[in-house]
């Protein structure tokens, strides 16, 4: 394997340290080696500190099966790099310019308003996008509440269900406000405006979004995590999907917020007992693929995403969020181990595809 082409796996520094030490992490990096062998490539793990663009080399680690541990190596810069870290830096920008699409995924503007704007240009996606506004005035929140009984306020950049507030109209000019910190309160219109200002939510860093009446599994709302990746032929494909079920009657399905992962067919069969769950899943998959193909037009090196897609009580799918680095553990938590491994296998197959396309993409100079 030492003479096989190397595929770079760019990780965060703290995560790389844990992997090398053998500590538990969400990133099961050894699977890269398993599928690298099957694809005739050798994955090398490194962080941005191990990247030397002047010498065009990396200082990283490869798995040595004979000693069952990672060993340090210094080698020429891999011609293809799978970027698994969200940090941005001048060095990584330079690497992106050098490799082009062979660095996947690139730096992406993850502002939810920007993503919503890009997706909303596609008429096919518009029926699947919750109404969304930037919360730059309290009147915008009230305007959306006139159309929808529940709205959510969420940070324009953020994930894992953090800092999300909820407002629910009671129908008598009062509102139940559930802030991301503090207790829920019943407020008048004037009190609600004041509460939004006190929580520092009225600015360009927060969005207000239509609440979706999600289908329920044993009384708890759920959404679906869908992994969409490019694979062997360089085309988008579904690596897996699983349901994330909120705790009790809470609306946050994130596993980091006490949600739990359950196989998607199990949840959909319960929520829609008179319907074929595979038909609903087909709608969800088509939506997920269309979202990624649309974003690819703006970000050509985009190749790997975890989408959160809600299904309302009529079985209609809604895009909730695009995650540009799926942490993958929802599949493992749900016992969907084949899907979990797919999320490692397909990037290795895509990396091999990129190597074979060097004439089209352009060789390193």
Per-residue pLDDT of 344-363, as tens digits, reads 999 999 999 999 886 443 44
CB environment 51-71: b (16+ within 10 A), e (fewer): beeeeeebbbbbbeeeeeebe
Name the pLDDT band for 110 (thresholds 50, 70, 90): confident
Q: Find the mean pLDDT for residues 303-323.
A: 95
User: Facing residues of 174 across strands?
Assistant: 188
Name the pLDDT band for 66 (thresholds 50, 70, 90): very high
Q: Find the mean pLDDT for residues 248-267.
A: 77
Give, in degrees to the nearest 5, the angle at Cα 240 between 234 and 242: 155
CATH of span 6-107: 3.40.50
Name the pLDDT band for 199 (thresholds 50, 70, 90): confident
* Cis-peptide into 105, omega within 30 deg: yes
Same fold, 6-107 and 216-354: no
**Would you kindly state where each structural domain of the chain is located, as residue ranges?**
6-107, 131-210, 216-354
The torsion defined by the Cα of 336, 344, 42 and 354, in degrees rounded to 10, comes to 150
Name the pLDDT band for 304 (thresholds 50, 70, 90): very high
Phi/psi of residue 74, each to 5°? -120, 125
Query: Lowest-confidence range among 144-148, 223-227, 264-268?
Result: 144-148
Per-residue pLDDT of 149-180, as tens digits, reads 999 999 998 766 678 889 999 988 899 999 88
Helix axes 337-356, 30-38, angle to 10 degrees: 50
Q: pTM here?
A: 0.91
The torsion defined by the Cα of 189, 184, 312 and 170, in degrees rounded to 10, comes to -40
Per CATH, domain 216-354 is 3.40.50.720: no
Burial, 219: exposed, middle or buried (Cβ in 10 Å; 0-12, 13-18, 19+)? Answer: exposed
- In this structure, are residues 160 and 256 in contact, taking their beta carbons and an 8 Å threshold? yes
Q: Determine the pLDDT at residue 359.
A: 42
Name the pLDDT band for 258 (thresholds 50, 70, 90): low
Q: Determine the pLDDT at residue 249.
A: 62
């Amino acid at each position: 394997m030492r003479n096989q082409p190397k595929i770079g796996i760019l990780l965060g520094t703290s995560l790389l340290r844990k992997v090398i030490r053998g500590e538990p992490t969400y990133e099961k990096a050894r699977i890269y080696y398993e599928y690298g062998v099957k694809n005739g490539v050798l994955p090398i793990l490194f962080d941005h500190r191990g990247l030397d663009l002047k010498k065009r080399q990396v200082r990283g680690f490869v798995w040595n099966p004979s000693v069952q541990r990672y060993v340090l190596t210094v080698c020429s810069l891999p011609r293809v790099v799978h970027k698994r870290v969200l940090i941005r830096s001048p060095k990584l920008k330079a690497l992106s310019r050098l490799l082009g699409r062979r660095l996947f995924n690139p730096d992406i503007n993850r502002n939810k308003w920007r993503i919503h704007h890009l997706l909303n240009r596609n008429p096919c996606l518009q029926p699947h996008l919750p109404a969304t506004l930037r919360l730059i005035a309290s009147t915008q929140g009230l305007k959306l509440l006139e159309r929808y009984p529940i709205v959510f306020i969420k940070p324009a950049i953020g994930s894992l269900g953090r800092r999300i507030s909820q407002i629910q109209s009671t129908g008598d000019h009062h509102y139940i406000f559930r802030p991301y910190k503090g207790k829920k309160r019943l407020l008048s219109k004037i009190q609600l405006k004041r509460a939004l200002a006190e929580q520092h939510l009225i600015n360009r860093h927060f969005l207000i979004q239509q609440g979706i009446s999600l289908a329920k599994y044993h009384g708890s709302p759920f959404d679906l995590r869908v992994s969409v990746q490019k694979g062997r032929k360089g085309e988008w494909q579904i690596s897996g999907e699983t349901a994330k079920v909120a705790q009790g009657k809470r609306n946050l399905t994130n596993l980091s917020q006490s949600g739990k992962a359950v196989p998607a067919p199990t949840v959909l069969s319960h929520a829609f007992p008179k319907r074929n769950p595979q038909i609903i899943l087909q709608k969800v998959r088509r939506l997920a693929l269309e979202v990624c193909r649309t974003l690819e037009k703006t970000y050509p090196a985009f190749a790997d995403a975890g989408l959160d897609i809600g299904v309302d009580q009529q079985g209609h799918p809604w895009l909730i969020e695009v995650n540009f680095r799926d942490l993958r553990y929802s599949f493992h938590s749900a016992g969907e181990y084949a899907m979990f491994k797919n999320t490692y296998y397909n990037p290795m197959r895509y990396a091999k595809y990129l190597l074979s396309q060097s004439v089209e993409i352009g060789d390193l100079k």
